[in-house]
Amino acid sequence: MMSQDKSSTPLAGMKVIEFTHMVMGPTVGAILASLGAEVTRVEPIGGDRTRNLVGSGSGYFPMYNRHKKSISLNLKDPEGLNIAQQLVASADILIENYRPGAMDRLGLDYDRLSKTNERLIYASEKGFLPGPYENRTALDEVAQMMGGLAYMTGPPGQPLRAGSSVIDVTGGMFGVIAILAAVEERHRTGKGQKVQSSLFETTVYLIGQHMAQMAVTGKAADPMPARISAWAIYDVFQTKDEPVFIGVVTDALWEKFCKLFALDDLWADTSIRENNNRVAARDRIMPEIRELIAGFSRNQLIAKLEGTGLPFAPIARPQDMFDDPHLNTSGGLEKVTLPDGRETKLPGLPIEMDGSRPSAPAKLSTIGEHSDNILADLGFSAIEIEALRASGAVD
């Protein structure tokens, strides 16, 4: 059993200041924090409103703000802004995903901050990279619609966003890639730089395979529900009770599949031994296979497929992951204490380093929980801190 408590700290000593909200920006900080960086979130007075979202947004804050400190500042107050500038002056990395121009108006843009901290890596997470769209306001869903992902996900004529904030999270991951590349370059040059990632360009990168399909075949890609699959057996099959996905993606797996289920007639048909021929004969093959699979219960089918090398998957729901035996054994879930004191488990980084998962118990900070300690580290006395709080510059 792998350790679930060992904290991976390859970024130990790295100081990160985060001016973010919602998902994309916090994702960048969450990944860096899970890798051992010291991440301090600068929240507005009263806290980041993401903390109080309801419905589908109620999980944003706990998922993407673990392992972080919180200081609550009024950035429109000169004293609050001065504190933010002092924090950045000694930071390695700044992360922001405010609306275009917001950091510039506050005097927290890269050009000004880099004059006092030339090693600063300034990561700006936006809707669009520089170009005609750069001043538009974007959301995950906007990017999915504009970039072609929603078109590919839904049935023809019914664009459908993906079932999670996939572009926010992936855009944040690209932000981390840019930051770590800039850190490596700083090792050689001694200087930081501004890096950017975006929702729209991230979406286009993800649908690049469909653009390439058009380039190769001369035919536009159909939405995924209506596509001609690259493989004949690559679908969800109904069992006696619950559905299961099965994929047969090589000729060797086709042989294994036929022998496992005693499909002697199909294996005897040499005209479909090769994948592309099976795709062409899919309408003839699939009814027999669907009828076969319908004779098993889900558990019977999984037991038969387990260990064969054939790709398969039961159709799970997000809530099923809390009790998933693989995640709970391998350290894929880490313990998290919510602000109200309740404990839960949430996914850790999906990587392994030196034989261990980067995972450690985490407590979500309350609004401004670390304000006093952070200010004291900057040299403010207890009397000065109280005065700042009384003036409304700090919460």
Q: What is the residue extent of each domain of the chain?
A: 15-207+331-391, 229-318
- Check pLDDT > 80 for residue 3: no
For residues 129 and 199, give the distance between their C-alpha atoms in angstroms, rounded to a whole number. 9
For the cut 80, the answer to whether the pLDDT of residue 5 exceeds it is: no
Query: What is residue 7's predicted lDDT score, i.e. its pLDDT?
Result: 53
CB–CB of 107/142 below 8 Å?
Answer: no
What is the rounded CA–CA span in Å between residue 58 and residue 376? 33
Residue-level pLDDT at 1:
34
pLDDT higher than 70, residue 312: yes
pLDDT score at 4:
40
pLDDT tens figures, 49-90: 999 999 999 999 999 999 999 999 999 999 999 999 999 999
Q: Can you tell me the mean pLDDT for 327-341?
A: 93
Burial 34-52 (b: 16+ CB within 10 A, else e): bbbbbbbbbbbbebbebbe
Predicted pLDDT at 227 = 85
CA distances from 85 to 46, 71, 186, 234, 336 (A): 20, 13, 21, 54, 31
Mean pLDDT, residues 314-340 taken together: 95
Per-residue pLDDT reduced to its tens digit, 143-179: 999 999 999 999 999 999 999 999 999 999 999 999 9
Q: Is the pLDDT of residue 350 over 60?
A: yes
Show Cβ contacts of residue 232 under 8 Å, excluding neighbours closer than 6 positions.
248, 272, 275, 278, 279, 281, 282, 285, 286
Mean pLDDT value of segment 361-384? 96
Residue 35 reports pLDDT greater than 70: yes
> How far is Cα 98 from Cα 78, in angstroms, rounded to an integer?
19
Instruction: Give the pLDDT confidence of 227-251 residue by residue, as tens digits.
Output: 888 999 999 999 999 999 999 999 9
Arithmetic mean of pLDDT, 99-125: 97
Which has the minimum average pLDDT: 120-134, 195-209, 288-302, 359-373? Answer: 359-373
Helices (H), 190-324: 199-206, 208-217, 251-260, 264-268, 275-280, 282-293, 298-305
Contacts of 81 (CB under 8 A, 6+ apart): 73, 75, 106, 107, 108
Sheet holding 93-96, edge to edge: 68-72, 38-43, 15-19, 93-96, 121-126, 194-198
Q: What pLDDT is recorded for position 49?
A: 96
Pairing of strands 333-337, 343-347: antiparallel
CATH hierarchy code of domain 229-318: 3.30.1540.10
pLDDT at residue 8, rounded to an integer = 66
Query: Which pLDDT value is given to residue 9?
Result: 87
Residue 112 pLDDT exceeds 50: yes
Residue among 106, 121, 127, 114 nearest 17 (CA)? 121
Residues 6 or more apart in contact with residue 233 via CB below 8 angstroms:
246, 247, 248, 254, 257, 278, 285, 286, 289
15-207+331-391 in CATH: which number?
3.40.50.10540
Q: Which helix (H) or strand (E) holds 81?
A: helix 78-89
Largest Cα separation within the chain, whole Å, is 87
> What global pTM score does this model have?
0.94
Cα–Cα distance for residue pair 23/57, rounded to 1 Å: 9
